[in-house]
């Protein structure tokens, strides 16, 4: 029997409830596939931080490296200042484990309401480069203290698994005003590996086009390199159509003609924003799964929604995004048939329409949806 070790972080708010349902479905799939899943739970999140002052120790990262995958619920609590958990927990995992791909399927499932008036299928993938761009911690706020011609000196650094960048900024402003700067960084290596993953995904999933998103018209340096690398990588995949698209135009076309996309690759900042739009056109965040991928290392799978603390303990949240993320996890560790089985089960439960959570206009609970999908996994797996 194949054995896999999965690190599980339930996180905050609704995190434990949705992970409970995701684990329920994972266990059903493991039963069908004859595999063993060792689920190792970790306490990190807001509650642990408020009790101990600890966010995520390096020892946990070392243990994650020995896992086959990470299954994550949600992070965030109103008692913790914004940025603490996002940087110290989520981004630390992504950067320390070099999860340089953020993979978000954009798919409209049957019987799921969309605000769009379309009968065309919506089924594409967004690849968000996950380690660079403006999400790197390099920046500063400079205070004038009411004086003109203040000079400022700032030392900044950005450390990733493949490299480290150290930067010195000396500045002077000839007015008595505060100002802030943030450094956006694109490396050739970082862009190339995201582009290549996108083309390989298009091949694997039978998608005919890869679209690269940027704002080279107003940020020609950082996104000029991005576009240059895209053109270079595209030459290795002559059978796949390519196009470049500005970020604002992409947002418009996501709404107007989402069926035209196959795989879309975006820099970190734009990808973070635009994939939420992708989630909404396919029924909302309750259906939006995601993976933080290191193709040669340990990857983390999670719904892209937040912790929704006001719904904690009410058993009303839609767990489908978490369950679909679990299916992605199975596919990532090499159990592709089981990952596909989970998605088929989700599709059939939604198509039947008997179980509908609050966000779908129904009265079914979080656990009702998890039970139905787990049962469907067993039914389909044995048929």
Q: Residue 147: its pLDDT value, please? A: 86
Residue 145 is predicted with a pLDDT of 85
Q: For the segment 357-369, what is each residue's pLDDT rounded down to a tens digit? A: 999 999 999 999 9
Residues 177 and 189 in one domain: no
Same domain, 34 and 163: no
Q: What is the Cα–Cα distance from 233 to 288, expressed in whole angstroms?
A: 29
Q: Is 71 exposed, middle or buried (0-12, 13-18, 19+ CB in 10 A)?
A: buried
pLDDT band at 204 (very low <50, low <70, confident <90, very high): very high
For residues 130 and 239, membership in a common domain is answered with yes
Q: Tell which of 263, 282, 301 closes a domain.
A: 282
**Same-domain pairing of 30 and 105:** yes
Angle CA(46)–CA(55)–CA(268) in degrees, nearest 5? 90
Residues 6 or more apart whose CB falls under 8 angstroms from that of 210 comprise 198, 199, 202, 234, 237, 240, 241, 242, 243, 262, 263, 264, 265
SS3 percent helix, strand, coil of the chain, rounded to 5, is 40, 25, 35
* Residue pLDDT, tens place only, 274-290: 999 999 999 999 999 99
Residue 268 sits in the same domain as residue 311:
no
Same domain, 120 and 220: yes
pLDDT of 364: 98
Question: How many CB atoms neighbour CB 129 within 10 A?
Answer: 26
303: left (phi over 0), alpha (psi -120 to 50) or beta: beta
Q: What's the pLDDT band for 52 if we cut at 50, 70, 90?
A: very high
Structure confidence by residue, pLDDT tens digits, 131-186: 999 999 899 999 988 888 888 899 999 999 999 999 999 988 888 899 999 999 99
pLDDT at 67 over 80: yes
Please tell me what DSSP assigns to residue 221.
T
Boundary of a domain, candidates 149, 167, 182:
182
**Is it the case that residue 118 has pLDDT exceeding 80?**
no
Query: pLDDT of 219-254, one tens digit each?
Result: 999 999 999 999 999 999 999 999 999 999 999 999
**What's the mean pLDDT when you consider all of the chain?**
96
Integer Cα distance of 304 and 271 in angstroms: 12
Bridge partners of 173, per DSSP, are: 150
Q: Which of 226, 259, 282 is the last residue of a domain?
A: 282
Per-residue pLDDT, 34 = 98
CA distance 34 to 383: 15
Same domain, 122 and 270: yes
Pair type for strands 164-173 and 299-303: unpaired
Characterize the bridge pairing of strands 179-182 and 139-142: antiparallel
- 382 confidence band (pLDDT: 50, 70, 90): very high
CATH number of the domain to which 3 belongs: 3.40.718.10
> Which residues form the domain of 151?
139-182
Judge if 229 and 170 occupy the same domain: no
Whether residues 70 and 95 fall in one domain: yes
The per-residue pLDDT for 117 is: 77
Q: How does strand 101-107 pair with strand 289-293?
A: antiparallel
DSSP one-letter string for 330-378: HHHTT-HHHHHHHHHHHHHHHHH-S--BGGGTS-B-HHHHHHHHHHHHH
**Once rounded to an integer, what is the mean pLDDT over residues 100-114?**
96
Beta bridge partners of 86: none
177 and 319 co-located in one domain: no
Pair of tokens at residue 216? 């080279």
What pTM was estimated for this model as a whole? 0.94
Residue 251 and residue 303 in one domain: no
Cβ(355)–Cβ(364) under 8 Å? Answer: yes
* Domains in the chain, number: 3
Mean pLDDT of the region 58-69: 98
Instruction: Tell me the Cα Rg of the chain.
Output: 22
Query: Are both 237 and 346 inside the same structural domain?
Result: no
Instruction: Find the CATH number of the domain harbouring 256.
Output: 3.40.50
The strand pairing partners of 105, in sequence order, are 125
Residues 18, 303 contacting (CB under 8 angstroms): yes
Q: Are 32 and 67 in contact (CB under 8 A)?
A: no
Start-end of H helices in 219-304: 222-234, 247-256, 268-281
Query: For position 146, what pLDDT does the model report?
Result: 83
How many beta carbons lie within 10 A of that of residue 219, not counting itself?
Answer: 15
Helix axes 366-382, 15-33, angle to 10 degrees: 10
What's the token pair of residue 108? 């409209």
């Amino acid at each position: 029997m194949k054995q896999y070790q999965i690190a599980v972080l339930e996180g905050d708010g609704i995190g434990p409830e949705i992970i409970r349902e995701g684990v329920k479905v994972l266990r059903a799939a493991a039963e069908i596939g004859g595999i063993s899943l060792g689920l190792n739970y970790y306490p990190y999140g807001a509650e642990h931080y408020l009790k101990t002052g600890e966010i995520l120790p390096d020892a946990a990262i070392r243990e994650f490296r020995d896992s086959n995958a990470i299954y994550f619920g949600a992070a965030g609590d109103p008692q913790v200042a914004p940025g603490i958990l996002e940087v110290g927990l989520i981004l630390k995992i992504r950067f320390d484990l070099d999860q340089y791909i953020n993979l978000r399927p954009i798919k409209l499932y049957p019987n799921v309401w969309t605000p769009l008036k379309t009968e065309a299928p919506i089924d594409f993938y967004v690849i968000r480069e996950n380690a660079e761009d403006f999400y790197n911690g390099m920046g500063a706020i400079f205070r004038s203290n009411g004086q003109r011609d203040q000079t400022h000196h700032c030392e900044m650094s950005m450390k990733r698994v493949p490299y480290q960048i150290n930067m010195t900024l000396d500045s002077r402003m000839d007015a008595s005003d505060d100002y802030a700067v943030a450094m956006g960084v694109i490396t050739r290596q970082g862009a190339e590996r995201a582009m290549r993953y996108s083309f390989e995904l298009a091949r694997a999933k039978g998608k005919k086009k890869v679209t690269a998103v940027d704002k080279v018209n107003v940020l020609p340096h950082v996104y000029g390199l991005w576009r240059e690398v895209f053109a270079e990588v595209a030459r290795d995949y002559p059978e796949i159509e390519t196009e470049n698209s500005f970020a604002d135009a992409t947002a418009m076309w996501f709404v107007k003609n989402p069926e035209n996309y196959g795989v879309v690759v975006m820099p970190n900042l734009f990808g973070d924003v635009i994939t939420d739009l992708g989630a909404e056109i396919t029924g909302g965040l309750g259906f939006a799964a995601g993976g933080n991928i290191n193709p040669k290392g340990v990857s983390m799978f999670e719904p892209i929604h937040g912790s929704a603390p006001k719904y904690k303990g009410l058993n009303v949240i839609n767990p489908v995004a978490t369950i679909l993320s679990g299916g992605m996890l199975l596919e990532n560790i090499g159990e592709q048939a089981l990952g596909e089985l989970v998605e088929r089960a989700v599709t059939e439960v939604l198509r039947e329409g008997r179980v509908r959570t609050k966000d779908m206009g129904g009265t079914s609970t979080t656990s009702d949806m998890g039970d139905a999908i787990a049962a469907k996994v067993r039914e389909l797996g044995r048929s």
